[in-house]
Structure 1
């Protein structure tokens, strides 16, 4: 292959195509930033949609808290001597139920504002708990005579009490209790009731309760009983089960999901009885409210005092921003394969391609990802992908016909783009095998290019030698 005077060598043409491809990294990186910015706006819009409704909710309780009198000793220095004094203090004994049966019915709803969407829900909780003093209560250093059973509190925790519905009902041994806001004498989130726990001296105490609450995105329960049984059902068909405990049984289909949990206090690593200073934050109050925009499950507990939860998220079936972001990462492959095809026409077929033509076709390929993001926010990812890929493939095919001076050659460029878009969609759909499939396709493409260019004199040195 001879080099015509004034014409670039095949090697210089390759280098020029690479430099233009590298220059297109700047707008491609700008598309990544655009996706991130639109995702942030979507999260802010979702937070504004759910504002005032109730955040991701976490439940705990009921817990029976009984004040008792204890003796505290302190050592002070008086006149250079250590003096130990004793004084009476009030402390609190927290008693978790032996058994609790909970049923939660979650009714989801999609809320929209402009092109943005959030998932909110109404939930109804019904349950029954049984409290009883353990036979080894004396081991905890609490005597029955020191407890003020008449001033006991029955506490329920809800991470975002703004979502609590009207008129919750709680009854102890069939007697309705009057409910108060907050977490009892130590503050906190949720509601509580004063109760006379004197019947516990003779028999177990049974508590029935029911309440409604609103939330969004996720729901979790912090089990504390000796035997926690939690049944959850919902019409939402896309749940994600996470947290420290997974359901023992679950069903997920197009009609929704149902899940059953069973957790014992031995799995929790926690006794049913605990003591603390009066007014100190209890177990329920250490449960921080989840973030409004954080739809992920809470981190697993790492010590015996950490709150352990069973967590259910009502996830969106398609996160279009993550899919567009993944698609954008393949942008260099689109540019590389298209430029390679143009380069082959330039070197082998003798059709001269100018740097401006490379640049315009590369810009169209970058524009595909902008169109994909813009359409996906309105009509969904799959229709947007079809529409954007058809538009860019058609545009570059028509432009290639003018550049390559042949519709036959242009259809080869169009077919290449259609194949690339089809392969990219498959890679996005088969997330688990995307790396394997992509690697095999790249290997096949590289082998084809090496075979097709095996006789090309990239520096045109051999032609000059032959001429000499």
Structure 2
């Protein structure tokens, strides 16, 4: 006979049984959560393959002026008990950061797709001017007069991923375009390009360098400031920027049509000398000296955030899985112990399986049609399925309508929780409080232990 497994069960035992079935459903919910993580990893790998060869997250730095000089070094060694001094001449480089940089970057995003995956890439056009002032007194750095070789100087630029240089940069001094060479880099970003310059043909006391170059990249772009005064303006039609790094913009405007940010960073905030001998300065990061990308604390960074991260949304939705199971099982339990409609253990399991399937459908559809349409489609499918099944279990379409209404309300509330992240905990807590208060009121005179013997009193 259907439902014969619960003829002798008291209301309290029925509650424990529903609770145990709910805990059993934690296994498939956890499996769905693991599936989301796996799909997210696959998405990240696919995006990396799409962006391969285009350019990674970019950090730009410079320019810096590098001037070679000769340095005499005395070394002493013991030969047959006698101290012998050797004098050698080595090549060193004097590094001079600009006294001021005024730069502007225009960031143009673009979406690339492969199968169901896509990634946001960009082109960043940066132009500006840097001013250098070479000090007259270099003795404090161990640079002797007459040892500098200004004819072999270099203007160095740092680019964290030089593959993103889509065309040769335009570097000019006094209106004259300079030839370029690969490599070089700066004290903060170890890769990039350089322009050789003969300082004997210009005024080294006030050297102005105009630069204009375009970078390809994805994910984020950052500026590693290294000047007496750095002014950087960045603008883009992308409407979801994330400002990070060790420096935040002094002024920023974000609208649905894009964003614009302005940075102003002085050398006192950087805590670094503008003039030093290459190899003698402390590294930018304690973990990695002069790496290909500067330390996060030394850069101003902007990330191009996705308007909706569907995997994050599905992951958050899955964490509310117990809310759906709990409310649905609570309705079944009340129909069972108060309405007199017996609900078997297998029926709890099948209804719960449908609730868990919602999150699988949500993930599968979201990868193809987006989160919101997927959410609506999955919610309609599971609400319809469980409502129809409840009509058979509860022997009434009116009772099944209650289950359907509960699920529809839960899906609506969950969508609000996912949209209003800042208030999700508050709304969820109030919803649970209301459910507990309602259950306590309805069951306040219920004989859970089955020892009173009479009918449950009304009211």
Same fold? TM cut 0.5: yes
Structure 2 residue corresponding to 1:236, chosen from 235, 238, 250: 238
| Deviation at residue 140 of structure 1 after TM alignment | 2.5
Where does residue 381 of structure 1 map in the other structure? 371
Structure 2 residue corresponding to 1:451, chosen from 414, 430, 441: 441
* Deviates further, 427-436 or 71-80: 71-80
Report if aligned partners of 2:122, 2:216 keep a CA contact under 8 Å in 1. Answer: yes
| 1:69-468 map, 5 Å | 69-134=70-135, 137-183=138-184, 188-198=190-200, 203-277=205-279, 286=289, 288-289=291-292, 300-301=296-297, 308-463=298-453
1:185–1:316 Cα change, 3 Å: closer
Any idea what the Cα deviations from partners look like across 1:410-437, whole Å, max 9, x if unmatched? 1111111111111111111111111122
Any idea what the Cα deviations from partners look like across 1:241-271, whole Å, max 9, x if unmatched? 1111111111111221111111111110011
Match of 1:142, SS state, is coil
Cα RMSD (Å)? 2.5
CA–CA separation in structure 2 for the residues paired with 1:286 and 1:36 = 34
CA–CA separation in structure 2 for the residues paired with 1:447 and 1:282 = 61
Gaps of 5+ in 1: 291-297, 302-307
| Deviation at residue 39 of structure 1 after TM alignment | 0.4
* Deviates further, 416-425 or 345-354: 416-425
Q: How many residue pairs were aligned?
A: 447
| Deviation at residue 163 of structure 1 after TM alignment | 1.1
Match of 1:318, SS state, is coil
Report if aligned partners of 2:283, 2:290 keep a CA contact under 8 Å in 1. Answer: no
Match of 1:461, SS state, is coil
1:269–1:324 Cα change, 3 Å: same
CA–CA separation in structure 1 for the residues paired with 2:260 and 2:395 = 62
TM-score normalised by length of structure 1: 0.90
Match of 1:462, SS state, is coil
| Deviation at residue 74 of structure 1 after TM alignment | 2.9
TM-score normalised by length of structure 2: 0.92
1:125–1:447 Cα change, 3 Å: same
Where does residue 304 of structure 1 map in the other structure? none
Match of 2:48, SS state, is helix
Where does residue 61 of structure 2 map in the other structure? 60
Report if aligned partners of 2:62, 2:186 keep a CA contact under 8 Å in 1. Answer: no
Report if aligned partners of 2:284, 2:295 keep a CA contact under 8 Å in 1. Answer: no
* Deviates further, 232-241 or 280-289: 280-289
Match of 1:325, SS state, is helix
CA–CA separation in structure 1 for the residues paired with 2:223 and 2:154 = 21
1:459–1:277 Cα change, 3 Å: closer
Match of 1:257, SS state, is strand
1:123–1:286 Cα change, 3 Å: farther
CA–CA separation in structure 1 for the residues paired with 2:428 and 2:255 = 32
| Deviation at residue 76 of structure 1 after TM alignment | 2.3
